[in-house]
């Protein structure tokens, strides 16, 4: 009698445990795969996917020897993952490594340095111009084809503001060239490692002369030279018998023998054999290292105010004019009647007064304001060798840039509110009938080809 209740109780417990066993099995085989599918779907990628692959080469290597292997191309080894790019080097970084890659400096016992082989350039250029009449060296009677040449270092500025100032200074030169119909070339390359620093202009000028025989005159301007009289154009007929025009005076060069009797930051040079010979004569004193240092000592013994540090292109040019005047002096014009290279410290604080006092256009061939404002001694790109306070230089450059830019903006009826700000204001409304106005100053700034057609 007692065994029947026990059996019944056991069967009852088994019935109660059956659902508990079915639920895990149901979850394991039905619910879990569905949930895993949802998590692995592209729209619900909530967990990272894990994909395991066997190397095919390893699988083939462990296949039985008596089983034929499928023909498979031999896979190439995968390239290593690219290493993260290093951060860009700061200004001046890598200078030591770059110097190590340079060839050893020329020694005093080496043959004299030359920019290139000597050629009969004048005769070949005349023939080229005769064969290419579409590219005349003179675009109008008495008006030569001019190429303005400028440039800056290939490296970044150490001062972030310097890049902006260099950009605006180039815009200033481009505006001036556009107004007068000049070509312009901007270089950021050092074409010859032997001629670094200030000397780098020599191989650049020679290369451009040979590459542009249609150009009659090349006008070198440093990156820190700003045009501040956008109307004035050098009197070309005045230089018809000369091959080099330098800002300076005969007294300072030939009597005082001062290395600052000229300024090599802005000069005009003719495209001819004489100029190629002059560049080559200068280049002999410019190779980096012992040659440049030796010529620095030689130059200091001849010039009155030059210390015996390494030679620069400006002191070398004065040295040639003084010691070989018969060869170079007769074809060199020392210009002092206008500011081919105006010293900025004497100019920038007078802009408002100059503009206020200049009520009538100047006589032809005479500048109204300084043609150029040269920021010699400033380092707009940064550097420890600046002669003047960086903030003063930067503020003064912005004033000069705004002064020149006002002359361009005025063509379109605008000007800067003040020379100390980049904000502009409208000063004239030409939208009613601008082509009906007769404006002498506006006419002088029109494109030369348009102006010549309406004379």
Q: What's the pLDDT band for 308 if we cut at 50, 70, 90?
A: very high
Q: Does the pLDDT at position 378 exceed 70? A: yes
The whole model's pTM is what? 0.74
Q: Does the pLDDT at position 305 exceed 90? A: yes
Residue 57 in any domain: the answer is: no
Residue 42 in any domain: the answer is: no
**Crossing angle of helices 160-180 and 390-409, rounded to 10°:** 30
Q: Does the pLDDT at position 366 exceed 90? A: no
Tokens 């109204």, located at residue? 368
Tell me which DSSP letter residue 262 carries: B
- Poorest-confidence range of 45-49, 162-166, 353-357, 386-390? 45-49
pLDDT score at 114: 84
Cα four-point dihedral sign 169, 206, 203, 384:
negative
Q: Which range, 95-109, 155-169, 256-270, has the best average confidence (pLDDT)?
A: 256-270
Q: What's the pLDDT band for 79 if we cut at 50, 70, 90?
A: very low
pLDDT score at 42: 44
Say how far apart CA 115 and CA 121 lie, in whole Å. 14
The rounded mean pLDDT for the chain is 80
pLDDT score at 59: 39
The number of domains in the chain is 1
Q: Does the pLDDT at position 318 exceed 80? A: yes
What's the mean pLDDT in 51-79?
A: 40
The per-residue DSSP string of 202-261 comes to HHHHHHHHHH-TT--EEEEE-TTEEE--SS----GGGGTT-SEEEEB-HIIIIIS--TTS
Residue 69 in any domain: the answer is: no
Q: What's the pLDDT band for 84 if we cut at 50, 70, 90?
A: very low
Say how far apart CA 308 and CA 287 lie, in whole Å. 16
Say how far apart CA 51 and CA 31 lie, in whole Å. 22
Q: Does the pLDDT at position 78 exceed 50? A: no
pLDDT score at 146: 98
Say how far apart CA 246 and CA 267 lie, in whole Å. 5
Residue 100 in any domain: the answer is: no
pLDDT score at 97: 54
pLDDT score at 29: 60
Q: How many CB atoms lie within 10 A of CB 351?
A: 21
Q: How many CB atoms lie within 10 A of CB 49?
A: 7
pLDDT score at 405: 96
Query: For 319-344, how does the pLDDT look when each residue is reduced to its tens digit (9 = 90+)?
Result: 999 999 999 999 999 999 999 999 99
Query: For 182-224, how does the pLDDT look when each residue is reduced to its tens digit (9 = 90+)?
Result: 999 999 998 988 898 889 999 999 999 999 999 999 999 999 9
In this structure, are residues 276 and 206 in contact, taking their beta carbons and an 8 Å threshold?
yes
- Poorest-confidence range of 91-100, 149-158, 309-318? 91-100
pLDDT score at 15: 57
pLDDT score at 143: 94
Class of residue 265 by CB neighbours under 10 A (exposed 0-12, middle 13-18, buried 19+): buried
Beta bridge partners of 374: 225, 343
Q: Which CATH number goes with the domain that contains 169?
A: 3.90.550.10
Tokens 């820190």, located at residue? 224
Element (H, E) at 281: helix 273-283
The per-residue DSSP string of 42-105 comes to GGG--S--------HHHHHHTS-TTSPPPP-PPPPPPPPPPPPPPPPPPTTTTHHHHHHHSPPP
Q: What is the largest CA-CA distance in the chain?
A: 148
- Poorest-confidence range of 141-155, 393-407, 438-452? 438-452
pLDDT score at 56: 40
Of the two residues 226 and 28, the one the predictor is more confident about is 226
Q: Does the pLDDT at position 415 exceed 70? A: yes
Q: What's the pLDDT band for 113 if we cut at 50, 70, 90?
A: confident
Q: Identify which of 378, 328, 379, 338 has the alpha carbon closest to the alpha carbon of residue 362.
A: 338
Q: Does the pLDDT at position 395 exceed 60? A: yes
Say how far apart CA 298 and CA 307 lie, in whole Å. 10
Q: Does the pLDDT at position 447 exceed 70? A: no
Q: Which residue range(s) make up the domain with 308?
A: 107-453
pLDDT score at 168: 96
Residue 73 in any domain: the answer is: no
């Amino acid at each position: 009698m007692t065994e029947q209740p026990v059996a019944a109780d056991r069967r009852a417990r088994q019935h109660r445990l059956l659902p508990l066993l079915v639920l895990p099995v149901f979850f394991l085989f039905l619910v879990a795969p569905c949930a895993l599918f949802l998590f692995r779907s592209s729209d619900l990628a909530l967990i990272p996917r894990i994909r395991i692959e066997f190397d095919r080469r390893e699988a083939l290597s462990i296949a039985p020897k008596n089983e034929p292997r499928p023909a498979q191309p031999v896979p190439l080894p995968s390239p290593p993952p690219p290493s993260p790019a290093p951060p860009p080097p700061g200004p001046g970084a890598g200078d030591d490594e770059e110097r190590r890659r340079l060839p050893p400096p020329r020694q005093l016992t080496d043959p004299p340095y030359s920019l290139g082989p000597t050629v009969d350039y004048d005769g070949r250029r005349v023939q080229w111009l005769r064969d290419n009449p579409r590219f005349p060296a003179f675009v109008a009677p008495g008006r030569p084809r001019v190429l303005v040449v400028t440039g800056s270092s290939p490296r970044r500025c150490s001062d972030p503001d310097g890049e902006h100032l260099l950009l605006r200074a180039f815009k200033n030169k481009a505006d001036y060239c556009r107004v007068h119909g000049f070509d312009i070339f901007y270089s950021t390359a050092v074409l010859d490692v032997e001629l670094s620093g200030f000397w780098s202009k020599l191989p650049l000028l020679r290369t451009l002369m040979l590459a542009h025989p249609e150009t009659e005159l090349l006008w070198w301007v440093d990156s820190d030279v700003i045009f501040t009289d956008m109307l004035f154009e050098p009197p070309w007929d005045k230089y018809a018998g000369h091959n080099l025009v330098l800002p300076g005076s005969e007294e300072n060069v030939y009597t005082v023998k001062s290395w600052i009797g000229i300024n090599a930051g802005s000069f005009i040079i003719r495209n001819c054999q004489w100029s190629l010979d002059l560049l080559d004569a200068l280049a002999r004193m410019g190779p980096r290292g012992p040659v440049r240092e030796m010529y620095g000592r030689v130059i200091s013994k001849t010039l009155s105010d030059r210390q015996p540090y390494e030679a620069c292109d400006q002191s070398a040019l004065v040295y040639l004019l003084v010691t070989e005047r018969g060869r170079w002096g007769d074809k060199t014009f020392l210009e002092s009647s206008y500011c081919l290279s105006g010293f900025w410290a004497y100019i920038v604080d007078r802009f408002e007064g100059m503009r206020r006092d200049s009520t009538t256009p100047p006589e032809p061939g005479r500048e109204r304001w300084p043609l150029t404002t040269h920021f010699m001694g400033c380092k707009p790109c940064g550097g420890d060798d600046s002669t003047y306070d960086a903030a003063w230089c930067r503020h003064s450059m912005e004033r000069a840039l705004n002064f020149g830019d006002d002359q361009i903006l005025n063509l379109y009826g605008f000007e800067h509110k003040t020379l100390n700000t980049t904000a502009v204001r409208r000063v004239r409304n030409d939208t009613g009938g601008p082509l009906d106005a007769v404006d002498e100053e506006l006419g002088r700034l029109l494109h030369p080809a348009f102006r010549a057609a309406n004379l």
